[in-house]
Structure 1
């Protein structure tokens, strides 16, 4: 999640009729909590539907492309390769225009118009960025078509199809558009009506809503049937560092009949070049007998020469069907690492689409010759690894990166090496790097958690020393550029004062978690004194505990707690959340939080009340919610807090509730922004019956909604099955025939594969 509005915050209210049980000092008897508005499903559903290869048949790229308000998923239906650089697809609009927050990926499911097909975008973010190089097939060329409004056209929703590696649609003028992609090249096959004036235009000034085009260039070469150039956009995040340039080389599979360039809406037929942010080019063709005209558009983050190089390497000839077949094969290989048995077909669609969504970001940023443009602006060579960018780390450290570490460790290893390079070249740990720049988005030092979590789970093929030096510097000094904000104040006081700026409370809590992770890395690196220091600092969350109210709160620089905190409203000292959201945010020390709240039983009763109130909130995803709000990351681990205290049955009850109420198989099937696959990874873990303990080697056990899954791990197959009633709660588990004394297991226990059997019962009882 990345955006909020004054209206949404004003409308943020509790929907429960019962009073908010806001607690006095720990140890004080609790008043009765409210009745829950949720009844867990009863009965049994013995159906079993086994996924059958090809698994890509179950992926529906339209899931998450719709939604309203804070329920917008920001997914897109266009094709790409796993973590590919190029993401071609349609950019849509409504009759009255496109609201930015609903078009962060360029596409909104209910829009009736397409105004272009751009080559870059992100998946599931709450910020609008990228959207470079708009291609538009059209019948003839006029000055009006140089603008988005002038060329927008209705399309036949019934003809729109998408699957991993492929997208196609028929426009209202009868032009049929098919798209596929290599890692760095988008291929379009356009079929024009017989006898029409077949024209393809490239708009350098094409933009997603709210994104500015700050510079560009277009060069047309009829002899080679190519158009090259670049576009530099300044979006919601890339604008923070001056804008993101993307270079391109487009080669058409037929000669130009007529051609020209344009600038500022003025056509210049027969001319070859223009410079600026409002330029473009077009060419008309004499289609083959089948009416088809093809174009391959390669992109580069380095320069036009590398775009040409990428084009020559990945699409030396225009063979659309072969490229699409290769794309489908790449996806099938990636998706086949998870074999699923579900109880209904819709769960197979949700499951494999979620898996697909976890493989879209971060973004490949390495050219075919191994070079990349780093955060320092210079061109480097990735020696022995593949360089990625677009790390939404405040989101992805929670679920996506643990999922990739488990199932796609070779990809995660390259991402860790990429983050090391970013830290060394940029002088600070990556925070929210987009393209070739650091945006500084969100709070915390989340790269620390990603490194520590990966290391703890056995993924250690990266330069720990280089990573640690940068992370330690960020945690102890004010770096010239980047790093932890207000770190000296945090180190001195143990918290960041409200007067230091927005999200001070969230930053304090995130830094405490970051310090826990950094202590793990210090110990691994043989830095015992550092490990002791950061372990001690990981307890700084306690400095936000207000004993009088019984909540974690922001704190003034002089130590006072605010007296007017509305626990159900967004506060400036929280990042996109309420006090009810953040009072639980101690994922690394849940037992310490329970003790601070008054002990285990008090903690559990209060958590029960929290979820009871959460079920009584207004239904739907339009607005933020004051209690459990699954549309945003800070609460994602809260159902699993029960599991931290070995209460697996209650962890299963409330995590299943979130699965049932927040996800689906329609365009509104995500709880909100997928945030680079974060929400999808949460579904995969939870539906499979286990969840990662943050920055450790352990997983908590819950109750799968999928009766059987097999994960193809590097060391062997890891299978999870259940016994007992389908809607039951977990009471016992065995791993390779051995009973687990607690509802958890360690990464080392499944490194060579294994079989986890989770026993479910109708009623909760002591773990056996």
Structure 2
């Protein structure tokens, strides 16, 4: 009897403990997919759209408020939704491809996208990474959730009359038809904005779980179906697509969404998001800071997208956007490496190395199929931006232990990337490579954006040299290390800024550090002078000393925020955004300057990096529709926030170092491979206490201004004591400075 009572008490205690435990809320509840959606052509607060997806998914889904063809598919200030669009758009400036939309229509049948929009209000809209739901003003409700290659919709109508679904294949040679036996719509959309072979198509299936009573098509590649359901009765729609064939689309449908409810798909998507975002657990801070952090992490994990599928044998296969054939293996796309080499891909190599492995294989697959590595792909090569940052990706991955790709093929591809240029695609290869090799710089005006290209090439050459050295090719390494110093050739010592020379070696006249365009890309000399990632010490020597470089960094934040729009001929949105920040010549809304704050660590004044990183996080980011201070750009502006909130940043991918700033949260736990964790404890941290008083790594005093990749991978604890006043005795010795080639 006594034993029974003891067992009963034990069970009761366990039940009480279980009842007292709170269920851990999903991290998706902290994500606002509407962050950055209040944007226009003239001014960007992110240029984002609310993507319903899984991380790196092949397809995203989004409500579409803009007309077909508009890069601004969802604008927070709009009041009509014209469709729910399967989208692959990485940027409004690049626009979309392979897209089609599904739209409920109520009352009178209207297929045209300009006229079929239904009004809604944001209070009747719920956006999350795993599900989007809206109740239109006319009472129609639509909810959707997605897998990588499929989606499920649930739609209800307020009354029985005029219940339609319109499926829009976006013209451009698209086709769409209703299959009565299968009770589904088959279609192919060929809509694109470039970067595709002639046989490109996205083949889709849209299935309905209720009988269709009427069906038809129009001349604009739209199909419609009509239903006769009870008011409030749920219509479930299953859809999937393939870039390979309709047969593969059917396989994708069967594998990912067939027979599954919206709740099932949403729960699975939520689980995947929680698993991926949960690799970084933040504690403390305000709710708004946590929302901004996880909203940024959501954005960072969207691109590049998986452009591969699985055949009947569960093997990865893909339609190549480079040669139009089907290959075995992995392909990723929708990424501008000019943006994402800086922080997105370094985040993957640290937190998601298994994804980084596949991306590196994809880069070399693109080389095999087109003769060049991608620099801006959507889905194939696109003529956008500058540089050879594919070299940075491969080098950084290799230096951080990701070595599953063919190193000899990689070196071949890297060298080729520096010695040729595509005749069709301006961003592929190296524009001005012959002049760069003969003169030591790219001349202007002979070559557009020449100074920016010179600086980018010098960094890429350093990356190539690092890779060659690490893989046993000393002769190649020596050649490219020498070329990595070419940035020096365009430093205008008389003015103290990077500038431009023509092919005769003559400096461009009428120097103006605030002039945008011309020899620069989306910026001016104030921004591009800092683009010497691999050799800040060398830049410091050009500027005169550590002290003078620190003073120049100081002046960047207090200089008048004036501008000369130069060859652009008008105020481009990046200029307008810089002026609106009112932070001098610091233009965080665009990529060239995003690392500059961290350069204080290279000149012995790390406390200034601690102050400015905290200031930028607080002033320029929030989780709302105006959450960014410029284009979000495939996760880069988000990844800057992620790293900076952790308290460090990869200033120079390829060095395997992370330069310190100021952590945002009292505690962060990073889950790493092999079950290890790296914990960042920032005792006393707050907006006022943003300065590092002391630091310890695994119980040992730590004075360096950077952490090493291997130190993080080993796991452990990084303890910081934070203060409201800077410690001007810490991190001031040259042995505590991060890597520079000049002091290698």
TM range, normalised to the smaller chain?
A: 0.7 to 0.9
Cα deviations across residues 327-355 of structure 1 (Å, max 9, x unaligned)?
A: 11111111111111132110010011111
Alignment correspondent of 2:253: 311
Q: Does 1:182 align with 2:147?
A: yes
Alignment correspondent of 1:362: 304
Cα deviations across residues 153-211 of structure 1 (Å, max 9, x unaligned)?
A: 21132110011210011122211000101110121111111323211011112xxxxxx
Match of 1:647 among 564, 588, 605: 605
Q: Does 1:56 align with 2:28?
A: yes
Alignment correspondent of 1:623: 577
- The answer on whether the counterparts of 1:432 and 1:440 sit within 8 Å (CA) in structure 2 is yes
Contiguous gaps of at least 5 residues in structure 2: 1-21, 564-570, 732-744
What RMSD, in angstroms, separates the aligned Cα atoms of the two structures? Answer: 2.4
Q: Does 1:579 align with 2:525?
A: yes
Aligned pairs for 1:692-731 (under 5 A) are 692-694=650-652, 695-715=654-674, 716-724=676-684, 726=686, 727-731=689-693
Match of 1:429 among 361, 368, 373: 373
Taking a change above 3 Å as real, the CA distance of residues 67 and 201 of structure 1, as seen in their structure-2 partners, is: closer
Alignment correspondent of 2:83: 116
- The answer on whether the counterparts of 1:180 and 1:188 sit within 8 Å (CA) in structure 2 is yes
- Distance in 1 separating the partners of 2:160 and 2:488: 74
Instruction: Give how far 1:693 is off.
Output: 3.3
- Distance in 2 separating the partners of 1:757 and 1:361: 32
Instruction: Give how far 1:614 is off.
Output: 6.9
Secondary structure of the 2:721 match is strand
Instruction: Give how far 1:289 is off.
Output: 6.6
Alignment correspondent of 2:135: 170
Alignment correspondent of 2:344: 400
| Highest RCO, 1 vs 2 (Cα 8 Å, sep ≥ 6) | 1
Secondary structure of the 2:293 match is helix
Alignment correspondent of 1:251: 207
Q: Does 1:129 align with 2:96?
A: yes
Alignment correspondent of 2:514: 568
Instruction: Give how far 1:299 is off.
Output: 1.6
- The answer on whether the counterparts of 2:578 and 2:588 sit within 8 Å (CA) in structure 1 is no
- The answer on whether the counterparts of 2:207 and 2:238 sit within 8 Å (CA) in structure 1 is yes
Instruction: Give how far 1:139 is off.
Output: 1.7
Secondary structure of the 1:259 match is strand
Q: Does 1:685 align with 2:643?
A: yes
Alignment correspondent of 2:45: 72
Aligned pairs for 1:174-253 (under 5 A) are 174-205=139-170, 213-235=171-193, 238=194, 245-253=201-209
Q: Does 1:297 align with 2:267?
A: no
- Distance in 2 separating the partners of 1:301 and 1:620: 35
Alignment correspondent of 1:104: 71
Alignment correspondent of 1:3: none
Segments ≥4 residues shifted beyond 6 Å: 239-243, 614-621
Match of 1:444 among 371, 376, 387: 387
Q: Does 1:530 align with 2:476?
A: yes
Secondary structure of the 1:523 match is helix
- Distance in 2 separating the partners of 1:543 and 1:195: 74
- The answer on whether the counterparts of 2:349 and 2:400 sit within 8 Å (CA) in structure 1 is yes
Q: Which moved more, 1:613-622 or 1:716-725?
A: 613-622
- The answer on whether the counterparts of 2:514 and 2:562 sit within 8 Å (CA) in structure 1 is no
Contiguous gaps of at least 5 residues in structure 1: 1-49, 206-212, 264-277
Secondary structure of the 2:187 match is strand
Instruction: Give how far 1:108 is off.
Output: 0.9
Alignment correspondent of 2:122: 157
- Distance in 1 separating the partners of 2:43 and 2:513: 20
Secondary structure of the 2:33 match is coil
- The answer on whether the counterparts of 1:582 and 1:634 sit within 8 Å (CA) in structure 2 is yes
Secondary structure of the 1:356 match is helix
Taking a change above 3 Å as real, the CA distance of residues 614 and 702 of structure 1, as seen in their structure-2 partners, is: farther
- The answer on whether the counterparts of 1:169 and 1:178 sit within 8 Å (CA) in structure 2 is yes
Alignment correspondent of 1:328: 270
Instruction: Give how far 1:665 is off.
Output: 1.9
Alignment correspondent of 1:85: 58
Instruction: Give how far 1:104 is off.
Output: 3.3
Alignment correspondent of 1:739: 701
Instruction: Give how far 1:381 is off.
Output: 3.4
- Distance in 2 separating the partners of 1:331 and 1:553: 45
Q: Does 1:758 align with 2:704?
A: no
Cα deviations across residues 20-78 of structure 1 (Å, max 9, x unaligned)?
A: xxxxxxxxxxxxxxxxxxxxxxxxxxxxxx99542222111111111453333122223
- Distance in 1 separating the partners of 2:585 and 2:126: 38
Alignment correspondent of 1:208: none
- Distance in 2 separating the partners of 1:665 and 1:634: 24
Taking a change above 3 Å as real, the CA distance of residues 465 and 281 of structure 1, as seen in their structure-2 partners, is: same
Alignment correspondent of 1:282: 224
- Distance in 1 separating the partners of 2:545 and 2:490: 18
Instruction: Give how far 1:240 is off.
Output: 8.2
Secondary structure of the 1:757 match is strand
- Distance in 2 separating the partners of 1:243 and 1:623: 40
Cα deviations across residues 524-580 of structure 1 (Å, max 9, x unaligned)?
A: 221101101111101111111112222101221211111123211213211111111
Instruction: Give how far 1:500 is off.
Output: 3.1
Taking a change above 3 Å as real, the CA distance of residues 200 and 163 of structure 1, as seen in their structure-2 partners, is: same
Q: Normalization by structure 2: what TM-score?
A: 0.88
- The answer on whether the counterparts of 1:86 and 1:120 sit within 8 Å (CA) in structure 2 is yes
Aligned pairs for 1:534-545 (under 5 A) are 534-545=480-491
- Distance in 1 separating the partners of 2:558 and 2:149: 49
Instruction: Give how far 1:646 is off.
Output: 4.0
Alignment correspondent of 1:656: 614
- Distance in 1 separating the partners of 2:175 and 2:519: 44
- The answer on whether the counterparts of 1:342 and 1:708 sit within 8 Å (CA) in structure 2 is yes
Alignment correspondent of 1:19: none
Cα deviations across residues 405-445 of structure 1 (Å, max 9, x unaligned)?
A: 1111111111111111111211111111112x211321001
Alignment correspondent of 1:345: 287
Secondary structure of the 1:652 match is helix
Secondary structure of the 1:283 match is strand
